[in-house]
């Protein structure tokens, strides 16, 4: 049976993960309006990942005998100044999510909830990757600067990204 404090905290995290998906879809729509389909694709795949993360939490609560309570999802931003500003927000947002996951782990440790601690380890590893990817793309965009050719080349590269279900989840 899941600890009630853990259950409430994970329900908040489900909302945060779904907001993340919403935010990335909004960013994808922004790039779509700019006729940058590769950037749009990257954001749509990111939204798929965030939805997957939310569903992992959702299933975990159910498997532990808890109750998932869904709350309203905040409206995300819809306008940015340029692609660099978008990826600055992506990086900042991923740092925020990392902080949320770390606080969940702190709570699991405090509550001596070993199952949740083991479960959250995957998310901690995932957030290292998420922050590294966001930072890398942001730095590349900064290097490109005002080069339209650079943006179009990066757009082409980002069009290749696809959502891949983690191997363990396919079983």
The pLDDT tens digits of the residues spanning 63-114 come to 999 999 999 999 999 999 999 999 999 999 999 999 999 999 999 999 999 9
pLDDT for position 168: 66
| String of DSSP letters for 83-151 | HHHHHHHHHHHHHHHHHHHHHHHHHHHHTT-HHHHHHHHHHHHHHHHHHHHHHHHHHHHHHHTT-HHHH
Average pLDDT, the chain: 96
* pTM for this entry: 0.94
Domains of the chain, earliest start first? 4-161 (1.20.1260.10)
Q: Could you tell me which residues come within 8 angstroms of residue 82 by beta carbon, excluding any fewer than 6 positions away?
A: none
């Amino acid at each position: 049976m899941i600890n009630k404090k853990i259950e409430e905290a994970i329900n908040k995290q489900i909302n945060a993960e779904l907001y993340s998906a919403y935010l990335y879809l909004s960013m994808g729509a922004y790039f779509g309006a700019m006729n940058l389909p590769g950037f749009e694709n990257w954001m749509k795949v990111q939204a798929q990942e965030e939805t997957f993360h939310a569903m992992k939490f959702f299933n975990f609560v159910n498997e532990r005998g808890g109750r998932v309570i869904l709350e309203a999802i905040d409206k995300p931003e819809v306008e940015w100044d340029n692609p660099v500003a978008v990826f600055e927000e992506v990086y900042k947002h991923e740092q925020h999510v990392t902080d949320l996951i770390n606080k969940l782990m702190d709570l699991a440790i405090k509550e001596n909830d070993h199952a949740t601690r083991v479960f959250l380890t995957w998310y901690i590893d995932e957030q290292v990757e998420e922050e590294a990817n966001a930072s890398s793309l942001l730095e590349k965009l900064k290097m490109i600067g005002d080069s339209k050719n650079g943006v179009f080349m990066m757009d082409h590269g980002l069009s290749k990204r696809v959502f891949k279900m983690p191997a363990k989840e396919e079983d």
